[in-house]
Amino acid sequence: MSHKLRVGELQAFYLTEEEVWRFFTIVLTTKSKKSATYKYGLLKAMIENLYQVDSEGEVTYDQLAYSFAKIYWNLVIHHDLEQGTRGSAVVKRLLEISEEHQIPKDITFDRLDPPIQIKAAKRIKSVMKTNVFGALYGDTRGSFYAFDHKKERFRFNGYVLTFMRKYQRLLVDLVNYHMAKMIEQLNAVPHINYLLGKVESIAQRSTLKPFERVLMQYFEERCFYCKKSLGKGNVQTHVDHFIPWSFVQSDHLWNLVLSCSTCNTSKNDRLPVREFLDDVVTRNEQLLNYEDLVIRDQDLSNYEEKKMVHLYEYSIQNGYEGTWFP
């Protein structure tokens, strides 16, 4: 049984796009039993970590478990979509934590105290080891990734990584759709009202305040786009995803900039014109000079200029046009 494996080597290295599509179709449409939504959870966690990999294409179990815990916390605790999955190990662990700390239902994952987030991710990680990594590995016949429970490392097949970045927007929609379809079968009204919207937003943060504090600490309080001075008079400070969140599906400090409310609102879900790409690359070089920050932020320590440039190019390929300017 593949889900019992402790180590999974890559079984295929080279894959054509057609082969990757075939695996995705099988994984997304095959009906399996009760732990069924896990594969969608892992795919969402993988998507969230596409730009958090190191130069070998690896991410740690902690990174994936954090994403996975966030997705299920928001689904199970925040949106109360637990029926049918009540007995599942992930749901059980999260309910235990929410009861232990008496956390009200309306609290989203990113509003939990960091030690509670870490505790949740740690418990979820052990469930992932027994029920999740091996299962999707088996469904894709070991062609998507390698994993090692002892080292707690997960390594993407390079072709799959490129494929997922290239078709990211479509994959996000496909995974959300199939996940929602399954949740709908397992739960009842009113919980499933506006279900697709709930599933689309389970990975999203409700606040970027912690990032704002970090950026304010290291940079002049100016709008990245129009250079207006922030925090004075009526000029509110916002944190903007340089590449829209709807595409990148995660929050990296290197993709976040301070902006005024006018620019943030007018930019909305759009990509800025290319000249700002050079500016953000330069800004990130400055970020990397702050050693204390790089040590604290694992995501930043994996940053390379080409990640930003690729992300910009992939977002254009995925239908975002770089046409917004202040």
Tell me the closest approach of the beta carbon of residue 230 to Zn ion, in angstroms.
8
Q: Does residue 242 touch Zn ion according to CB under 5 A?
A: no
Residues 195-224 touching Zn ion, rule: CB under 5 A, are 223
- CB-based contact 175:48 (threshold 8 Å): no
Measuring CA to CA, which residue among 202, 177, 185 is closest to residue 75?
202
If you search the block for the tokens 């509670």, which residue do you land on? 116
Single out the segment in contact with Zn ion by CB under 5 A; choices: 99-107, 237-245, 252-260, 268-276.
Answer: 252-260
Copy the structure tokens of residue 225.
């786009």
Tell me the closest approach of the beta carbon of residue 263 to Zn ion, in angstroms.
3
Name 99's Cβ contacts closer than 8 Å, sequence gap at least 6: none
Single out the segment in contact with Zn ion by CB under 5 A; choices: 211-219, 244-252, 260-268, 302-310.
Answer: 260-268
Cis previous bond, 104, omega within 30: no
- Cα dihedral 16, 18, 54, 93 sign: negative
148/221 with CB nearer Zn ion: 221
Single out the segment in contact with Zn ion by CB under 5 A; choices: 69-77, 198-206, 256-264, 267-275.
Answer: 256-264
How many angstroms separate the CA atoms of 141 and 102, rounded? 42
Residues 66-105 touching Zn ion, rule: CB under 5 A, are none
Tell me the closest approach of the beta carbon of residue 305 to Zn ion, in angstroms.
24
Single out the segment in contact with Zn ion by CB under 5 A; choices: 24-32, 173-181, 206-214, 227-235.
Answer: 227-235
Give strand pairing partners of 155: 58, 146
Tell me the closest approach of the beta carbon of residue 80 to Zn ion, in angstroms.
39
- Calculated CA dihedral for residues 181, 62, 204, 157, nearest 10 degrees: -60
Single out the segment in contact with Zn ion by CB under 5 A; choices: 90-98, 119-127, 261-269, 290-298.
Answer: 261-269
Q: Does residue 226 touch Zn ion according to CB under 5 A?
A: yes
Which residue in the set 225, 242, 245, 276 belongs to the binding site for Zn ion (CB under 5 A)?
225
Q: Does residue 263 touch Zn ion according to CB under 5 A?
A: yes
Classify each residue of 79-115 as buried b or exposed e, where b means 16 or more C-beta atoms within 10 Å of its C-beta. Answer: bebbebbeebbbbebbeebbeeeebeeebbbbebeee
78/238 with CB nearer Zn ion: 238
Tell me the closest approach of the beta carbon of residue 260 to Zn ion, in angstroms.
4
How many angstroms separate the CA atoms of 23 and 139, rounded? 8
290/325 with CB nearer Zn ion: 325
Q: Does residue 260 touch Zn ion according to CB under 5 A?
A: yes
226/295 with CB nearer Zn ion: 226
What own/partner pairs with CB < 8 Å and gap ≥ 24 does 1-4 have?
Answer: 1/134, 1/138, 2/134, 2/135, 2/137, 2/138, 3/130, 3/131, 3/132, 3/133, 3/134, 3/135, 3/138, 4/130, 4/134
Q: Does residue 258 touch Zn ion according to CB under 5 A?
A: no
Residues that contact Zn ion, how many (by CB under 5 A):
6
71/260 with CB nearer Zn ion: 260
The site for Zn ion (CB under 5 A) is made up of: 223, 225-226, 228, 260, 263
